[in-house]
Amino acid sequence: MAARKTALKPFDVEALWELDRIGVPSLSPDGAQAVASVTRYSMADNRGASSLWLFSTLGGEPRRLTFAGDKDGQPQWSPMGDQIAFIARREQQGEKDEEPQLYLIAPDGGEARAVAPVATGIEAFKWFPDGKRIAFISWVWPELKGAAAQARAMKEFRARKESGYVTSEASYRWWDRSLPMGRVPHLHVLDLASGKVRDLFEGRDLELTRRDPDANCFDISPDGRRIVFSFDPAAEKRCDDRFALGEIEVRAGGRHRTLLLDKDWDFSAPRYSHGGSHLAFLASHQGLKSTMPTQLAVLDQKGRWAVFSEAWDQAVNAPLLWTEDDEAVLFNAEEKGRRHLWRFDLALRQADVVFEGGNATSFAAGAGVVVVNHDRLTHPPRLSALVGDVQPQRMESFNDELLARHRFGPHEETWIKGAQGDPVQLWLNYPPGFDPKKKFPLLHLIHGGPHTAFGDSWHWRWNHQVFAAQGYVVASVNYHGSSSFGYAFLDSITHRWGELELQDVQAATSALLRKPWADRKRVFAAGGSYGGYMAAWMNGHVKPGRYAAYICHAGCFDWQAMFADDCYSGHARELGAWYWDDPAKIAAQSPHAFARHMKTPTLVIHGAQDYRVPDAQGLAYYNTLKARGVDARLLWFPDENHWVLKPRNSRLWYGEFFSWLRRHGGAG
């Protein structure tokens, strides 16, 4: 008798959190192996753990490298290939790291060792070309000198009994945390043999960006004598300031000089060529508009610079990586809802796709090999290798078995006529076993940003497959303002938020309701961040009854009150005025001003640690609906930020999400 075939299960939130999550790869100098962190979550323990894995570009099974830590990340192969450095918080010989520290491990295994304790911790790092030193970022008290003084100050700060945060800074918190009080991010050099640490910025009025400084902020010259970095030259730091490029000599007492400073331009992500004679970087002409894209630019040794991608109507993303012949630069960039890996030929000023997304999010290249981390609507991130002219080859199969146990529906890219008669991209995810002769509810997922896009990509927090598996046709509109469709399309909504985006969502709804499978009584709209703003905006602008219910996650509700957010100094550039100069203009783009029209049932979700859209926005929206007698429900997390990142909270999030839709006629 033949074995009974196991029935496939719908893909759900439990399965979502069982998947392995692969991080950014680093390639060995000979191109034979890559290393990346892999994070695995436990719903039972309500936590995740990350370890380092080795992946062969020549074939063979991946091998786990680290076992002792639970948050091993940011691995980087040494230039000689004999060691891998990474950042972790670990416990060794009874001592537990209070701040993230740098560890080294041999690629063939063994015990990882801490290099040297840095009291203020390590944010990000890069190897020097000689493999004997490492440059890293740490937040320090700029008025203090020497590692011992920093360590004393850190000890005193941890021992304090006061909880108050005191500042005179214009920028003092970011995303979900207060910036380290009184500290700024400096570049340091660590000598691996002696363990000696030196602050390159000590005694100088220099610092890196306060907004998540990472290894893209700086680069080390091929001869190891200089470091280039982006920095904010303004005396008072604000989130929308324009950055300059500086260079500092690594030797003790080495001089610093400003390479590029222009009040109209923002410069970032510098990268030396292999020959050291040119510097690639990102340049954005902010003097024209805040929405101007980041473009590829190059600086030569004579101080001359030029934008090379000006005629190419796409935004270039960090990191930048020179090809081995220094004739081209590799980078990621979006195009029509997909993110590819590109090679930009500097002589021809032409961009060509090296690896086609889906969603190619990170990469490493060298020794004739390219390794790409990529995903699609149909699968989570994978690692693939490109060796010579051979087609990309998978380097692992971590999630294949789990995915094979579940049913998935088809997906489709289509286009509609949107606002101003422009073509607008629309992604559709269908339920498993979709039969167009039957009726299905329609669920809009409205992306945030607004200058981002939904594409052929895997989303860990708003997963299209989980939504579709519940029985919904999931629609994702890349409305006016979305990235990857050219600058004019992206900038079209500036100073009039809500107008064109609503026309696009409505056009998509009208087009889909003409489909024989669409149930016009079961149409829903949900969005997060700017998508949450749109859900609230729609409640005040769309005639009740068109949508059965809304879901607003971390949505902007009142632009005047939004001045409490972490990037308030950019509001006037986005909305067209300060609220005190033109309150009518701000109110005209603010959902709260249209509260009297709101009648559609809404689930409001927010996190208390959300500084991008403070939770008072969600609470005010919920309270407004309750005061008006509108059917509303609130899901509030005291321990989540702009996103929901804990497994149990995510399960609750999806449970409340689907329960709300069912309550108003949705699938289930």
**Three-state SS at 500:** helix
**Three-state SS at 573:** helix
Distances (CA, A) of 95 to 104, 342, 370, 434, 488: 17, 45, 39, 56, 55
Write down the H helix ranges in 522-632.
530-541, 571-575, 583-587, 616-627
- Give the residue carrying structure tokens 């390590």: 122
Q: What is the model's pLDDT at position 522?
A: 98
Q: What is the model's pLDDT at position 390?
A: 82
Alpha-carbon dihedral sign for residues 514, 519, 521, 524: negative
Residue 646: which region, alpha, beta or left (left: phi > 0; alpha: psi -120 to 50)? beta
Q: What is the model's pLDDT at position 3?
A: 44
Q: What is the model's pLDDT at position 68?
A: 83
Bridging pattern class, strands 602-607 and 411-417: unpaired
How far apart, in whole angstroms, are the C-alpha atoms of residue 176 and residue 643?
A: 10
What stretch of H or E contains 523?
A: strand 518-528
Which 8-state DSSP code applies to residue 392? P
Q: Which CATH superfamily is domain 408-663 in?
A: Alpha/Beta hydrolase fold, catalytic domain (3.40.50.1820)
Amino acid at 263: K
How far apart, in whole angstroms, are the C-alpha atoms of residue 96 and residue 631?
A: 50
Q: What is the model's pLDDT at position 40?
A: 97
Contact present, 218 and 270 (Cβ < 8 Å): yes
How far apart, in whole angstroms, are the C-alpha atoms of residue 655 and residue 15?
A: 14
For residue 85, how many C-alpha atoms fall within 13 Å in the half-sphere facing its CB? 23
pTM: 0.96
How far apart, in whole angstroms, are the C-alpha atoms of residue 460 and residue 455?
A: 13
Nearest partner of 369 among 352, 355, 382, judged by Cα: 355
Query: 573-590, pLDDT tens digit by residue?
Result: 999 999 999 999 999 999
Which residues of the chain carry a pLDDT beneath 70? 1-5
Bridging pattern class, strands 101-105 and 133-140: unpaired
- Give the residue carrying structure tokens 């696009």: 504
How far apart, in whole angstroms, are the C-alpha atoms of residue 540 and residue 559?
A: 15
Residue ranges per structural domain of the chain:
408-663
Share in percent of the chain as helix, strand, coil (round to 5)? 20, 35, 45
Alpha-carbon dihedral sign for residues 43, 44, 47, 51: negative
Nearest partner of 372 among 52, 30, 34, 127, judged by Cα: 34
Q: What is the model's pLDDT at position 93?
A: 74
Q: What is the model's pLDDT at position 121?
A: 98
